[in-house]
Amino acid sequence: GDSVTQMEGPVTLSEEAFLTINCTYTATGYPSLFWYVQYPGEGLQLLLKATKADDKGSNKGFEATYRKETTSFHLEKGSVQVSDSAVYFCALSAGSASKIIFGSGTRLSIRP
């Protein structure tokens, strides 16, 4: 069945460091791919998405490119800030919203 695998955390970085959070997926057909972010004590918020191969989603300095050949959707940011500390979820949707599958989440902590 469809699945999402993302790197285990926690990930701890210093402010202004480069960030990569890996995400790979298994799906039949052509899924849409998402990154959601969960700040402490809050629900998930959509960070970015991509709906077809080679699409690049971007928001708030974060980017991810839909790579069909490697079935990946890695999240990157060139210079992280303390305010980026949160849990990041990779997800895919294949068929309908009822079939959204989330990864297990990666906790990111940024040191000042």
Which residues bind to other proteins, rule: CB under 8 A? 4, 31-32, 36, 41-46, 49, 51, 89, 93-98, 100, 102-105
- Using the minimum distance from each CB to other proteins, give the nearer residue, 3 or 20: 3
Three-state SS at 91 = strand
- Using the minimum distance from each CB to other proteins, give the nearer residue, 41 or 112: 41
Cβ at position 62, least distance to other proteins in Å: 15
Q: Which residues contact 3 (CB under 8 A, 6 or more apart)?
A: 25, 26, 27, 101
Which residue's structure tokens are 């895919």? 92
Cβ at position 4, least distance to other proteins in Å: 8
Secondary structure element (H or E) that encloses residue 87, with its range: strand 86-93
Cβ at position 82, least distance to other proteins in Å: 22
Which residue's structure tokens are 């998405």? 49
